[in-house]
Amino acid sequence: MFTEVLQRLGLNAVNSGTRGLTSIDQPTGSRFASVNPATGTTLATVVGTGEADYEQIVAGASRTFATWRTWPAPRRGEVIRQLGQALRQHKADLGLLVTLETGKILSEGEGEVQEMIDMCDFAVGLSRQLHGLTIASERSAHRMFEQWHPLGPVGVITAFNFPVAVWAWNAALAAVCGDVIVWKPSPQTPLTAVAVQKICDRVMADNNCEGLFNLCVGDVSIGERMAADRRLPLISATGSCAMGCRVAATVAGRLGRSLLELGGNNAVIITPQANLDLALRAVLFSAVGTVGQRCTTLRRLIVHESLADSFATKLRQAYASILIGDPWQPGVLLGPLINDRAVTQMLAALDNARQQGGEILCGGRRLDRPGFFVEPTLVSAHANMPIVREETFAPILYLLTYRDLDEAIAIQNSVEQGLSSAIFTDSLTEAETFLSARGSDCGIANVNIGTSGAEIGGAFGGEKDTGGGREAGSDAWKAYMRRQTCTINGGRELPLAQGVRFEIPTT
C-alpha cells in the first residue's frame, strides 16, 4: 500500500533532493534517509544538495527572478491556482506521505495538505490585491503613493513538524508577490519535500515558469549558506529559538531581512467561569495533537485553584482513553515522536521536572515497541520551575494553578516565548482583560479555543523569542515585497517639503 503511494507521487527508492531551474541529474550532496517514525524503517533515500549544486540553484533563481517579476501579478496568481488544483488531486496521497514521514495521524496529515490548498486559494485572491496607499501630499499639484515590488529570490527554511504547510505559507505568497523560492526542508522530512517539488515541476512546466520553485535538501550547512547569501534578500525560517538566533545574526550581518517563526511555550488559562467540557476537548487537541510537536502545542495549563484537582482528574481519564498506535490507522490519536533523539529529550525533560519538584500525574514512559512512541504526560508543576519555561517538543503538559486573573496572566506572560495563548471563560470581562493591552503578550490570543490549529487567514507568528515574524494571512505578504514611496509633481512649480526655500539667486 505504501509503495503504491510513493509511486503515484513519482518517488523512487533514491530521489534527487536538488530541483529547480537547473537539471542536476546527479546531485552531489550527502544522503538523507526518510524514516517512518512509527516503524523505524526507511521509506526512501534522498540525495542532498552539494556545494556546486547549491550555487547553480541560487544563480538560476536570480535569473528566473529577472523574468518572473515582470509577469502581471494576476498571471502569477493563475500559476498558484493551478498549484492548488494539483494539490487537491494529490491530497490523499500527499497527506498519507506526511503521516508516513512525520508520524502525525492521517487526519492531521491531510489537514496539512488542506492548509497548503487554502494558502494557494488565499494567494490567488491576493494576486489581485497587492494594494498600496495613496497619501495626501503637502505640496500643491503633487501626488504621493506607495507601490509594492517583488523582492527577489527568497530562502525558505522549514521544520519537520509541518513539512509542507509552512512551505506553502511562504511559497504561495512569495510567488504571487513576484519572488522566486529556494526551499531548504528539514533533513528529517526530505521525501514530502521532493513530492511537493515534483508537483510544482509539472505546474511550472505547464506554465513556462521553470525555476520558480527550487529545492535544496541539506543539513544545517545549506541553511547557513542561505543565511549568508546576499542573493537571497529574505530568509524565512521556522524552527528552534537557537536556530533562529543564528539565522537572524547572519542575515543581519549582511543587512538582509529575516522572517522568523520560532519556539512557543503556549498556555491556556481556565477560569471558574469556563465551560469545562469545551476546555477539556480543546486542551486535549492542543496538548496531545501532533504528539506535542507543534510550535503552537499547549505546554502550560494554568487552572484556577478551585478547579485544579477536579480538572486534573478529568484530564487523566481523557489521557487514559487516547489510542496510541500507527498513525495511519483509524481511531489512533497519538502516533510516534519524530525520532529517537526526541524521545530521549522528552525523558530528560521529565527527569528534570521531577528533580525540580514536579509530580508526574500520568504517562511519562516510552512504549516498548518499534518506532518512537511515548505516553502523553501530565505533570503537576510550578510556573517558576526552569523546565516549565523551556520548550520540549513532546506531549508534556505542565499543570499550574492561580488565584486571580492578574496572576494567571502574569504566569502566562512570564516565559521568553510569545507565540500562542488562550483563555477559557464565559465572562466577557475576563475575556476582554485577557485580550487587552495588559493581557496576553503573544502573537495569537484565543478565547474558548485551544492554542493550536490556527486558520491561514490570520497572520501567524509570535513575539519575544518566537521571533516576531508573521506568515500566511492578513498582510503578511508585505514581508515578501519591497515598498516604494513615489511622489509625482504634476505642476509647473517646484515647492520643497517642510517649506524649505532653496532659490537659485537671479543675477
Among candidate residues 108, 110, 261, 391, the one labeled active-site is: 261
Give the residue with the Cβ less far from ligand UN1, 167 or 398: 167
The contacts of residue 82 (CB under 8 Å, 6+ apart) are 203, 206, 207
Contact criterion met (CB below 8 Å) for 27 and 53: yes
Q: How far is the CB of 161 from ligand UN1 (least distance, A)?
A: 5
**Nearer CB in complex with ligand UN1: 61/333:** 333
Shorter beta-carbon distance to ligand UN1: residue 256 or 450 = 450
Q: How far is the CB of 151 from ligand UN1 (least distance, A)?
A: 23
Q: Enter the C-alpha cell of residue 486.
A: 513615489
CB of 262 to ligand UN1, least distance (A): 9
Q: Which of 451, 375, 398, 379 is nearest to 420 (CA)?
A: 451
The question of whether 442 is a catalytic residue gets the answer no
**Phi-psi group of 392: left, alpha or beta (phi > 0 → left; psi -120 to 50 → alpha; rest → beta):** beta
Segments in 414-505 forming alpha helices (H): 428-435
- Residue 243's H or E segment, with its range, is helix 241-253
Whole-number minimum distance, CB 173 to ligand UN1, in Å?
15
How far is Cα 24 from Cα 26, in angstroms, rounded to an integer? Answer: 6
How would DSSP label each residue in 350-396? HHHHHHTT-EEEE---B-SSSS--B--EEEE--TT-GGGGS--SSSE
Q: How far is CA 363 from the centre of its chain?
A: 28
Nearer to ligand UN1, 24 or 98 (CB): 98
Which residue among 295, 375, 442, 471 is the active-site one?
A: 295
CB of 160 to ligand UN1, least distance (A): 10
> Are the C-beta atoms of residues 34 and 189 closer than 8 Å to each other?
yes
Nearest-approach distance from CB 297 to ligand UN1, in angstroms: 8
Angle made by CA atoms 342, 347, 352, in degrees to the nearest 5: 125
295 belongs to the catalytic site: yes
Which residue lies nearer to ligand UN1 by CB, 57 or 449? 449
Strands 134-135 and 41-47, how do they pair?
Answer: unpaired
**What's the rounded Cα separation, in Å, for the pair 215 and 260?**
20
Q: What is the C-alpha to C-alpha distance for residues 135 and 483, in angstroms, rounded to an integer? A: 14
Q: Which of 322, 294, 297, 327 is nearest to 105 (CA)?
A: 327
Q: Which residue's CB is nearer to ligand UN1, number 34 or number 238?
A: 238
Burial class (CB in 10 A: 0-12, 13-18, 19+), 463: middle
Q: How far is the CB of 162 from ligand UN1 (least distance, A)?
A: 5
Applying CB under 6 A, the residues found at the interface with ligand UN1 are 161-162, 166, 238, 294-296, 452-454
Question: Nearer Cβ to ligand UN1, position 203 or 346?
Answer: 346
Any idea which residues carry the catalytic annotation?
A: 261, 295
